[in-house]
Structure 1
Amino acid sequence: MLTKYDHVVDKITIGKKGEQLAANFLMKKGFEIVMRNYRFKHAEIDLIIRRDDWLIFVEVKARSSTDFGEPEEFVDARKVNKMYEAAEEYIYATDWQGHIRFDIVSVKLGGEPVIEIFEDAIN
């Protein structure tokens, strides 16, 4: 018998798998993973990556199905504001002086994973 917590556990499992697949995908593309799950107050950034003089804040959205929409469509205004807040703190704390960008990585599970990066998707 399923409990109300089974859905939450499944969602966490999907999220962790999606983040790992996204990190592997980005490393293969030549990005350095600077930090995972950076937290500031109630905000979290899934991945902070770097290449050359670019620091990129990444929101990973993973879904086991697209029945209710594409993964990237689930990044709402509240999440964007929280990302900005955490990114601003990270930039200040590390005295970052290079370029910055906010990307979304979409991970579709359920069979062979399909991973897409949406560069500069949050602005």
Structure 2
Amino acid sequence: MAQHLELGRAGEALAKAHLENAGYEILDENWTHGKAEIDLIAYKDKVIIFTEVKTRTGTAFGQPEDFVDARKQKLLADAADEYIYLMDHKGDVRFDIVAILFDRDKNYILNHIEDAFWPSGT
């Protein structure tokens, strides 16, 4: 398996464990709609949280969360709209980012950014 895929899976597992330990219920993992994939869909306090996980091994090109650009936000919003429709959710929603930065020794820093963005048009 490609190294970047392994890194991504490790990051998603850490993010899932972090959310569960913080009292979130995980509703779905790697949920897809069209060209978009939502890494984790969680639920807490009557809010559905659409979570993008970004995992990196360095910051030469920016922090992991910097890679959730406007295009990615639009894809996530479109997929979230479909999920909300399918689940007939009438409550609040939120978009979070869990950014994970590994060092060479496999130590990591996890940064959970709540309400990280609100895609335009949503």
Structure 2 length as normaliser, TM-score? Answer: 0.91
**1:28 offset after TM fit, Å?**
0.6
**How far does the alpha carbon of each residue in 1:42-99 deviate from its partner, in whole angstroms, 9 at most, with x for none?**
1110000001211000000000122221100111111101000000000000100111
Q: Which amino acid aligns with 1:93?
A: L
Q: Which amino acid aligns with 2:113?
A: F
RMSD: 1.1
* Separation in structure 1 between the aligned mates of residue 77 and residue 60 of structure 2, nearest angstrom: 29
Q: Secondary structure at the match of 1:14?
A: helix
Q: 2:93 pairs with 76, 88, 100, which one? A: 100
* Separation in structure 2 between the aligned mates of residue 10 and residue 61 of structure 1, nearest angstrom: 15
1:53 aligns with 2:27: no
* Separation in structure 1 between the aligned mates of residue 98 and residue 62 of structure 2, nearest angstrom: 15
Q: 1:120 pairs with 93, 115, 118, which one? A: 115
Q: Which amino acid aligns with 1:72?
A: E
* Separation in structure 1 between the aligned mates of residue 22 and residue 107 of structure 2, nearest angstrom: 19
* Separation in structure 2 between the aligned mates of residue 10 and residue 67 of structure 1, nearest angstrom: 18
Q: Which amino acid aligns with 2:47?
A: W
Q: Which amino acid aligns with 2:34?
A: K
Give structure 1 stretches of 5+ with no counterpart: 1-5
Q: Secondary structure at the match of 1:50?
A: strand
Structure 1 length as normaliser, TM-score? Answer: 0.90
**1:112 offset after TM fit, Å?**
1.7
* Separation in structure 1 between the aligned mates of residue 5 and residue 107 of structure 2, nearest angstrom: 19
- Alignment map for 1:30-109 (pairs within 5 Å): 30-109=23-102
Give structure 2 stretches of 5+ with no counterpart: none
* Separation in structure 1 between the aligned mates of residue 10 and residue 53 of structure 2, nearest angstrom: 10
Count of matched residue positions in the alignment of Structure 1 and Structure 2: 116
